[in-house]
A and B are shown apart, each in its own frame.
Chain A
Amino acid sequence: MIFGQRNTSWLTLSWLIALALLAPVLVMLFTSIGNFGELFSHLWQTVLPTYISNTLLLTFYVSLLVLLFGVPSAFLISQTQLISAKWLRWALLLPLAMPAYLVAYLYTDLFDYAGPVQRLLRASFGWQSPTDYWFFDLRTLEGAAVVLALVLYPYVYMLTRTALEQQDTSLLRAGRTLGLSARHAMLKIALPLARPAIMVAVTLVMMETIADFATVQYFAVNTLTTAIYDTWLGYGDMAAANALASVLLLFVLFTVVAEQKSRAGQRHQSNRPNFSGDKLALSFGQQVMGLVFCWLLVILGFALPFGLLIAMAIDYAQLDQLGQLAEIGWETLKISAYAATAAVALSLLLALFHRFYPKSLNHLPLQISGFGYAVPGTVLAMALMATFGPIDHWLNDTAEWLDWSKPGLILSGTTFAIIFAFVVRFAAIANGTISAGIGKIPHSIDKAPASLGVGLMATIRTVHLPILKSSVFVAWLLVFVEAMKELPAVLLLRPFNFETLSTFIYQLISDERLEQGAIGAIFIVLFGLIPIIWLNKNKH
């Protein structure tokens, strides 16, 4: 406690922010109370056990795969003399620009029985029917896991790479002088030290997986999200759907708590980041394997699906769409940027508060503000309507009573609701990234300015924010890209005559006419690339 025991206004502000972000989740929980009724027992007796086991298995597979993809690639790029590392460094981030549902669509199209790959095989080998040969079925749980992992691994890659690069090299050198080989120093010192960052990334991936709907639907894999949709849209039982969503939230809570417990007590800080050039040399065989591994990730996660999109766009070129797409694209960029800015600002407030006032309950605002990430976009949208609707009604009734003109549904019926939904959904990403950044600032730095009589705000402005610049930027970038790709919440909350690139493409995909939306899909990917390239430039 350097700057006094308490800061009431900051405390209040933190709790207000956290509660605002948590409000839709709370509304969801409250409507679910007492609704584990007849429908629930029907589902339990029929399909729910399968849905739950699918959800658990999918989350497990995806987590495993993103670790297998993300950690070795981060290690290779940051710690070894891999050829073309300069390119791979940012190319490995590219899949981040691909919406998972788009990749799912493109890959099922490519690898299905009726797709070009199997057609070619049949034509080449004279096979006639599915019984003549074996081919992997992409529309399975495993297939969905692979596709999700291909677009989600960049989280692990990015956070791990940053953690490894910012590590204190003196620790590694100490290990080496004590007799560890370079490789062992890496395995025994560097990676364990990067674990908090890796775990943050995996937790994000898990939440994203649990909340996914569009992708698993393409793969005909029924998960808990499917059950939520069925219950709400099929049976028309919103309360029971909320009850299921609450179960989903329990999974997440469990994951988050387990993750935090697993690294409790770990604290490592350094202000001497590892910018030195002493990287591991690789043998020829290691070079080849490393190159194949990294470039395959780039190709499968980005280049191949993007190539397919371009081929489609050329085949079905509809240039008259361009004007409309530019307009939609601009709207999409705008609301994504607002959401990213808001999310980052709120995260900074919460995370810095936790940093300077690390009392028992003060970590809660930061934690609970991230719960929205695991709520499927659709459920979140419904919860937001339930939250803002009454406020809107109250505003209109008050306006009427005062004889003013009625403002209309200014919260629930405008893009405000969409931006709010983005912030609720993606605050966890900003929190994770910014907290990780703050965690790496040594606490000794906090004390120095105080000893010189510099106040808290000045300390933050002159010391912490400059150090945090890159974390803040990464957080902004991640939220921005995710917001641009987000679909279900926008579908439900959008006002009249409003489209984002995602909703535009989704409408065509849902009618199996992605060809005609290929240009729009390319726009999403390209807009997603701008921040990735920008980030890369800033680093060098």
Chain B
Amino acid sequence: MIKKIIGLTAFAATLVAPVFSASADEVNVYSYRQPFLVEPLFNEFTKQSGIKVNVVFAKKGMAERLAREGEHSPADVLLTTDISRLIELQEKGLLQAVNSDVLEAAIPSQYQAQDNSWFGLTTRVRNIYTAKRLGDMAISYEDLADEKYRGKICTRSGKHPYNVALVSSMIAEHGEAKTLAWLEGVKKNLARKPQGNDRGQVQAIHQGLCDVSLGNSYYFGKMLNDDKQKVWADAVNINFPNQENRGAHVNISGVGVAKYAPHKEAAKALLEFLASDKAQQMYAETNMEYPVRAGVKKSALVASWGDFKADDLPLETIASHRKAALKLLDQAKFDL
């Protein structure tokens, strides 16, 4: 009987995928970012360095997983799409400092953690899209609560990280009470319950369901490059909000090295590659984000939208208001 059990266990073990081996020539990445974006980057990195990149794509639960895995975690590098996730990883003590002159030189200081535990790679603007039929206009986030937009605004869930970060920046600027009033005002102006994603809102503007929507800038470029979605994008103007005061809200996508990274050197090499001219250029072209590295050109399309003033609120401040922002969204019953 015992023999049988051991035999069965051994058999079962062979069924399970090969256990991950730690070899020197590879680096393991947990990525919030999507495959189509990062795979070309990783391929280029492997080509240049000979280091193989293994990836797990996950949008949820990465911090939890990393924490559970602890010192036995195979993860080396963590790629995220917004600042809150980086701060979450940092606060939970899941990152380690990376001291690299290359990174220091490439990435402006406002886009790096003071303790060198994370680095921004691209910046992403929270724009306001308006129907072309409204004409050219200057618009601010505060305007979204204005009565003149009653029944005219479309947005994705307030709980989406991009919107939560925007609400956090509103709290930093105006305090909680005023932000709650603003959220309630915006909710009153919604054409429909928050739903879909940033592109879906532009589509709704195109169809005449609403006039104004919130959306990140790169979606505009992606829609223009998609045969079917171009008509949606053609129906709207992309606006950089609050140009007359604090500037448009900006978030970052970023990267950090896991605290127990088994391939620390390879991880550092990958980070330095992601901040290099070549990779930054690929980010700009593939995803139409704004490269953080000075001197790297935006994509021609992105450049055509013009320069803008960005809110220089420190990213840590935005992240620190995150829970308050979520609570206000609940209080305003924004998604209900």
- A-side interface residues toward B, CB under 8 Å? 42-43, 46-47, 50, 113-114, 119, 128-130, 139, 218-220, 222, 229-230, 232-236, 238, 338, 378, 381-382, 385-386, 389, 392-393, 396, 406-410, 412-416, 419, 488, 491-492, 494-498, 503, 507, 510-512, 515
Contact = CB atoms under 8 A, between A and B. Distances in A.
A50 B58 contact: no
A139 B20 CA distance: 43
B146 interface: no
Given A43-B330, A378-B60, A492 B65 contact: yes
A412 B59 CA distance: 18
Contact of A130 (B199, B209, B228, B323): B209
Contact of A409 (B13, B74, B327): B74
A31 to B, nearest CB: 12
A496 B336 contact: no
A400 to B, nearest CB: 10
Contacts, number: 141
Given A220-B157, A408-B20, A415-B17, A492 B58 contact: yes
B194 A507 contact: no
Contacts of A50: 333, 336
A43 B336 CA distance: 13
Interface in B203-224: 203-204, 206-209
Given A414-B16, A495-B56, A236 B336 contact: no
B88 A113 contact: no
Given A409-B72, A496-B74, A230 B159 contact: yes
A113 B56 contact: no
A47 B159 CA distance: 13
A416 B16 contact: yes
Interface in B173-206: 191-197, 199-200, 203-204, 206
B140 interface: no
A510 B59 contact: yes
A230 to B, nearest CB: 6
A497 B55 contact: yes
Given A114-B207, A507-B57, A235 B323 contact: yes
A503 B21 CA distance: 24
B88 A42 contact: no
A238 B74 CA distance: 22
A492 B60 contact: yes
A496 B68 contact: no
Interface in B299-318: none
Given A47-B330, A220-B195, A238-B64, A496 B72 contact: no
A507 B34 contact: yes
B15 interface: yes
A222 B335 contact: yes
B225 interface: no
A413 B20 contact: yes
A495 B15 contact: no
B35 interface: yes
Contacts of A385: 64-65, 68
B114 interface: no
A234 B74 contact: no
18 contacts: A46-B327, A46-B331, A114-B203, A130-B209, A139-B192, A139-B195, A218-B195, A220-B194, A220-B195, A378-B61, A381-B61, A410-B13, A413-B20, A492-B60, A494-B58, A496-B55, A507-B57, A512-B197
B69 interface: yes
Contacts of A386: 68
Given A114-B209, A385-B68, A496 B20 contact: yes
B159 A234 contact: yes
Contacts of B58: 491-492, 494
Which of A114, A233, A378, A495 lies at the interface centre, i.e. has the most chain B CB atoms within 10 A of its CB? A114
A250 B161 CA distance: 30
Interface of B: 13, 15-17, 19-22, 28, 34-35, 54-61, 63-65, 68-70, 72-74, 88, 157, 159, 164, 191-197, 199-200, 203-204, 206-209, 228, 323, 326-327, 330-331, 333, 335-336
A540 to B, nearest CB: 33
B333 A498 contact: no
A218 B200 CA distance: 12
A495 B74 CA distance: 10
A220 B335 contact: yes
B204 to A, nearest CB: 6
A389 B336 contact: no
Given A139-B195, A381-B61, A382-B64, A114 B206 contact: yes
A408 B18 CA distance: 11
Contact of A129 (B74, B192, B203, B208): B208
Closest 3 CB pairs of A and B: A220-B195, A496-B54, A46-B330
Contact of B333 (A47, A129, A229): A47
Nearest to B60: A233
Contact of A497 (B21, B54, B333): B54
Contacts of A515: 228
Contacts of A114: 200, 203-204, 206-207, 209
Contacts of A113: 204, 207, 209
Contacts of B34: 507, 511
Contacts of B68: 385-386, 389, 412
Nearest to B156: A220
Contacts of B207: 113-114, 119
Nearest to A47: B330
Which of A396, A406, A511, A512 lies at the interface centre, i.e. has the most chain B CB atoms within 10 A of its CB? A512
A413 B193 contact: no
Given A130-B208, A236-B63, 14 more contacts: A114-B204, A114-B207, A114-B209, A219-B195, A230-B159, A230-B326, A236-B323, A396-B72, A408-B72, A409-B20, A410-B13, A415-B17, A419-B16, A515-B228
Contacts of B327: 42, 46
Contacts of A415: 16-17
Contacts of B13: 410
Contact of A236 (B88, B196, B199, B203): B88
Contacts of B61: 232-233, 378, 381-382, 492
A482 B60 CA distance: 22
Contacts of A219: 195
Nearest to B75: A496
A20 B13 CA distance: 18
B209 A495 contact: no
Given A119-B207, A495-B56, A47 B19 contact: no
Nearest to A387: B68
Contacts of A511: 34, 197
Nearest to A499: B57
A413 B74 contact: yes
Nearest to A410: B19
Contacts of B60: 229, 233, 378, 488, 491-492
A224 to B, nearest CB: 14
A393 B20 CA distance: 15
Contacts of A392: 72
